[in-house]
């Protein structure tokens, strides 16, 4: 998923800065989920500068492309399933579905050591982004759980070849995906409003230079 940035005037020590919008960022690892697994990987891109505003400008120049602009962070995911369809007389039932979710996060990382005061502000900034993005991670995991709940055990009548059941589950799959995107979009809109959490994190990084 990509979220575009916009230019927005901020009451800070600079007259205007790019307000970059962030997407998912979670600590890497692997965890089991209902018989399957979630794999979380973090990649970084280098940003340069010795002050908060220099680092933030570097993010604007080097951040991953998102539509016509750039983002602070970028997340892609791949969700695959091992499904067991079993004919039962003239019907077919999905008796199991094992998910494998791979999430890749791309985050900024300073390419050189930072002065102590800048390092302190950067650590607060990037920690705030991670905390924000953990909510997106929860949304994704809940999407997988919703798909499991709404598809496993589904039965299609008059489907001895198990073809109709594959089409039948597409509706709950699509609904779960749309719901996850909407929840994340709603959360971002709240977090990135004027004076809200992300706004304060950005100001905390660039102020004091």
Q: Which residues, including other chains, have CB under 8 Å from residue 93's CB and lie 6 or more apart?
A: 85, 86, 153, 154, 155, 156, 165
Q: Would residue 200 count as lying in a domain?
A: yes
Share of the chain above pLDDT 90, in %: 57
The count of structural domains within the chain is 1
Q: Would residue 27 count as lying in a domain?
A: yes
The residue range of the domain holding 144 is: 6-206
Q: Which residue carries 């400008």 as its tokens?
A: 57
DSSP 8-class letter at 10: -
Q: Would residue 109 count as lying in a domain?
A: yes
Average pLDDT over residues 26-52: 79
Q: Which residue carries 């999407």 as its tokens?
A: 143
Average pLDDT over residues 118-133: 90
What tokens does 184 get? 């994340």
Contact 137, 67 (CB under 8 A): no
Average pLDDT over residues 150-167: 97
pLDDT confidence of 209, banded at 50, 70, 90? low
Q: What is the pLDDT of residue 2?
A: 41
Q: What is the pLDDT of residue 4?
A: 39
Q: Which residues, including other chains, have CB under 8 Å from residue 34's CB and lie 6 or more apart?
A: 99, 144, 145, 148
pLDDT digits (tens, 9 = 90+) for 142-158: 999 999 999 999 999 99
Contact 94, 172 (CB under 8 A): no
Average pLDDT over residues 180-187: 92
* Inter-CA distances, 98 with 24, 73, 186, Å: 23, 29, 29
pLDDT confidence of 69, banded at 50, 70, 90? confident
Q: Would residue 28 count as lying in a domain?
A: yes
Q: Would residue 103 count as lying in a domain?
A: yes
pLDDT digits (tens, 9 = 90+) for 5-22: 443 433 333 333 333 444
Average pLDDT over residues 59-74: 85
Q: Would residue 1 count as lying in a domain?
A: no
Q: What is the pLDDT of residue 130?
A: 80
Residue 25 has pLDDT above 60, yes or no: no
Mean pLDDT (the chain) is: 84
pTM of the predicted structure, to 2 decimals: 0.80
Q: Which residues, including other chains, have CB under 8 Å from residue 123's CB and lie 6 or more apart?
A: none
Q: What is the pLDDT of residue 71?
A: 83
Which of 61-65, 109-113, 128-132, 139-143 has the highest average model confidence (pLDDT)? 109-113
Q: Would residue 173 count as lying in a domain?
A: yes
């Amino acid at each position: 998923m990509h979220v575009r940035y916009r230019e927005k005037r901020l009451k800070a020590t600079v007259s205007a800065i790019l307000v970059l919008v962030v997407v998912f960022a979670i600590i890497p690892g692997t965890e089991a989920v209902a018989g399957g697994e979630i794999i979380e990987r973090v990649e970084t891109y280098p940003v340069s500068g010795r002050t908060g505003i220099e680092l933030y400008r570097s993010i604007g120049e080097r951040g991953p492309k998102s539509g016509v602009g750039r983002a602070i962070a970028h997340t892609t995911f791949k969700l695959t399933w091992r499904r067991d369809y079993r004919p039962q007389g003239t019907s077919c039932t999905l008796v199991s579905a094992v998910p494998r979710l791979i999430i890749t996060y791309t985050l900024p990382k300073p390419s050189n050591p930072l002065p102590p005061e800048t390092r302190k502000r950067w650590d607060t900034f990037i920690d705030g982004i991670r905390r924000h993005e953990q909510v997106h991670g929860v949304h994704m995991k809940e999407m997988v759980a919703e798909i499991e709940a709404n598809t496993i055990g589904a039965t299609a009548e008059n489907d001895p070849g198990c073809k109709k059941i594959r089409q039948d589950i597409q509706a709950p799959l699509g609904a779960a995906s749309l719901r996850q995107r909407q929840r994340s979009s709603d959360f971002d809109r709240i977090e990135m409003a004027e004076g809200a959490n992300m706004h304060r994190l950005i100001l905390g990084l660039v102020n004091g230079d």
